Structure 1
Amino acid sequence: MRAPFLTAALAAFVAGPALAQDLKPVSAFDAIADPAARSAVLFEEAGKVIEHPRCLNCHPVGDTPMQGDDMHAHQPPVVRGDADMGAPGMMCTTCHGPANVAIVAQAEGLGSIPGNPAWHLAPLSMGWVGKSLGDICTQLKDPARNGGRDLDEIVEHMAHDDLVGWGWDPGKGRTPAPGTQAEFGELIQAWVDTGAHCPQ
């Protein structure tokens, strides 16, 4: 059953250009002379990843993760828990191991159970679902909400974090995030280098 907060508008948002599979390189934006304008457009391009279901599903604004390209409520029903890793007795790692696991008898079109050694939800302060890309950008830059990270640490997280990297190797039955993690990291680095301006 789909979560009640997954409205038709949100479903349309998810089905839109966020499922694009290519990222433009940083050089594609060299012609934009104004650094602030270039910065905002670079973040918009990186937003193809940030707004993709591979990211949004684990960045809910509530206590329930989502799954699938259509971002339906997690099945079986689970909750965030106190440490963003599930409730006692039903931790994320109860089902999610250190690597993706193929499902032999496929059910409901799924081909694998996703896995990563650090599998967990993003903190509630970093909930993104239903927010504009500009709001996500502002949130991402705020150390009070982003886990105390400065901009260099944000670049490091986006470009090299293994759990973030799972989005490009999500297992059978899931659409990978657009581009590559390296390309995404380059866009985030260029966004920071041009002043980390947010789209309006």
Structure 2
Amino acid sequence: MLLTTPCSIHPLWAAEDLTPASAFQNIPDDHQRSLKLFEEMAKVLTSPRCLNCHPVKGGPTQGDDMHPHNPPMVRGDGDFGPPGMHCSTCHGSQNVDFAGISGSIPGHEPWQLAPVSMGWQGLSIGEICRSIKDPNHNGDRTLEELITHHSEDGLVGWAWHPGAGRTPAPGTQVQFGELTRAWVETGAACPD
């Protein structure tokens, strides 16, 4: 299924736990196991925590409903926002709770949009899969480096600690890293 608007949420996403990589060991065929592992990874990759900062065009979206960013933002040079209104104008090095009302401004150092080449909004899970495997679209990472990125990168890890008013990505970063490793070890297969 394709995400057709920036406000759509992929049907695989829900606030739930991830199935651990070890649960897929009973699938004897490596290719089939790899496909199932990626489907589990897609619960994270298609969650609003990831998709909000992975637009294909335009600016970021925000919130669990993936509404347009307010104030309106554009990518700007270097994926840090436009001159005079960089992402860091509002987004600091950590989440900051609103005073007097529920919610927060997310933060991490650095805070930025994913490069255009890493845009996923509107893509099927198969297209996202092929994109994250492609060094031209994944920050020039090998599959082994992708495991490290998913397992250890702080901005990726923010998805599980998004601050007040946001649903975390499913599972944990450790589980996501283990799923990524198992997916790579079984051939890094992608759905059609």
Distance 1:6 1:34 in 2: 36
Distance 2:152 2:55 in 1: 22
Match of 1:145 among 137, 146, 158: 137
User: Residue 148 of structure 1 aligns to a residue in which SS?
Assistant: coil
Per-residue CA deviation, residues 101-154 of structure 1 (Å, 9 max, x unaligned), is 000132xxx510000011100010111011010100001111111111100111
User: Residue 16 of structure 1 aligns to a residue in which SS?
Assistant: coil
1:43 has 2:68 as partner = no
Tell whether the 8 Å contact from 2:147 to 2:181 is kept in structure 1 after alignment. Answer: yes
TM-score (norm 2): 0.95
Runs of 4+ in structure 1 displaced over 2 angstroms? none
1:132 has 2:124 as partner = yes
Distance 1:99 1:56 in 2: 20
User: Residue 174 of structure 1 aligns to a residue in which SS?
Assistant: coil
Partner of 2:76: 81
TM-score (norm 1): 0.91
Tell whether the 8 Å contact from 1:15 to 1:70 is kept in structure 2 after alignment. Answer: no
Partner of 1:34: 29
- Percent of aligned pairs with the same amino acid: 57
Pair 1:171–1:118, CA change in 2 (3 A): same
Tell whether the 8 Å contact from 1:103 to 1:112 is kept in structure 2 after alignment. Answer: yes
Distance apart, 1:17 and its partner CA: 3.5
Distance apart, 1:21 and its partner CA: 1.4
**Alignment-mate amino acid for residue 96 of structure 1:** H
5+ residue gaps, structure 2, are none
Distance 1:147 1:15 in 2: 24
1:70 has 2:62 as partner = no
5+ residue gaps, structure 1, are none
Per-residue CA deviation, residues 3-28 of structure 1 (Å, 9 max, x unaligned), is xx737xx62xx173302311001111
